[in-house]
Amino acid sequence: MTADTALDGTVVDDTQLVDTPLEVSLARLGTIGLAELTERASLLTRIDRKYVLPRSELHLVLRELDPGVRVLDIEGVRSSAYESVYFDTPELTSFMMAAHPRRRRFKIRTRTYVDSAQSYLEVKTRGGRGVTVKERLPYAIDDRSTLTSEGRRYTDSVLDEADITGTADQELAPTLLTRYLRTTLFIPESASRATIDTDLSWSALTEPARSGSAVPRYQTRQRRLDRPRLAIIETKSGSRASAVDRILWANGHRPATISKYGTGMAALYSDLPGNKWAPVLRRHFR
């Protein structure tokens, strides 16, 4: 068993928790390839619902899945390693738009599929009706921690098209690194998907600007948060809830307000506003 490590270096002993390995919980389900999944449930425009639960409770949810649900399998791998690098302005414009909810907001990151050594630059925007739209550009894996001139032009173009302001003429620097294992499910009845993220880790890459502070902008900091006993399930569907949502509700789990970027930053920097994510921070991150 792996114990959780808190920000102050203390170890939270959770070795008494017993959970069923994810691969055992999903062993009865068939598989689906990436090409078929993309064709049948690309869902770049979608409604996202997120749930945070102890990893030890995953089996209670997954055992109720319809046998027709399929698991993404890429060359025999069902849980793939992901790495994301988030970019923000010195004033943390992206973070602040999420912390103080704005109808129109954005998120910029590179996403790397570690197992296949593929990387993309992704720009996620949210409009006034709460619909998330993700645009992506193939990206050189060696550039995943930087925003190249081509990447900056692409980012500016997507934000302009979405009528989102706040980044013009401002530096966009790497702020946060996240790593986790992701398992993806295809739900045929709604042609939707759900993801299960485990082995979650957040690492600060740069220090945000502080008003009146003598600390230089973007000074590298050694801040890291590991939550190996936590799982995040995200359903990605149209306006209708999926079968996975209904199973989670029946087991007492309700959608949570969590953002890997926003909640991670608020957990790593206690002086940043975190009221939006307060319940999740208190229960799972403090």
- List the chain pLDDT tens, one digit each, 286 residues: 344 444 433 333 343 344 678 888 888 999 999 899 988 886 555 678 999 999 999 999 999 999 999 999 998 899 999 999 999 999 999 999 999 977 788 999 999 999 999 999 999 998 656 667 889 999 999 999 999 999 999 999 999 988 888 788 889 999 999 999 999 999 998 888 999 999 999 999 976 655 544 333 444 457 899 999 999 999 987 777 889 999 999 999 999 999 999 999 999 998 999 999 999 999 998 7
CATH superfamily of 16-285: Hypothetical Protein Pfu-838710-001 (2.40.320.10)
Q: What is the pLDDT of residue 5?
A: 44
Q: What is the pLDDT of residue 167?
A: 85
Question: pTM of the entire structure?
Answer: 0.84
Residue type, 220: T
Q: What is the pLDDT of residue 128?
A: 59
Question: Among 20, 55, 54, 25, which residue's Cα sits nearest to residue 185?
Answer: 25
Q: What is the pLDDT of residue 165?
A: 82
Question: Among 214, 46, 49, 9, which residue's Cα sits nearest to residue 124?
Answer: 46
Q: What is the pLDDT of residue 17?
A: 43
Q: What is the pLDDT of residue 221?
A: 55
Residue whose structure tokens are 């302009």: 160
Q: Are 80 and 182 in contact (CB under 8 A)?
A: yes
Per-domain residue ranges for the chain? 16-285
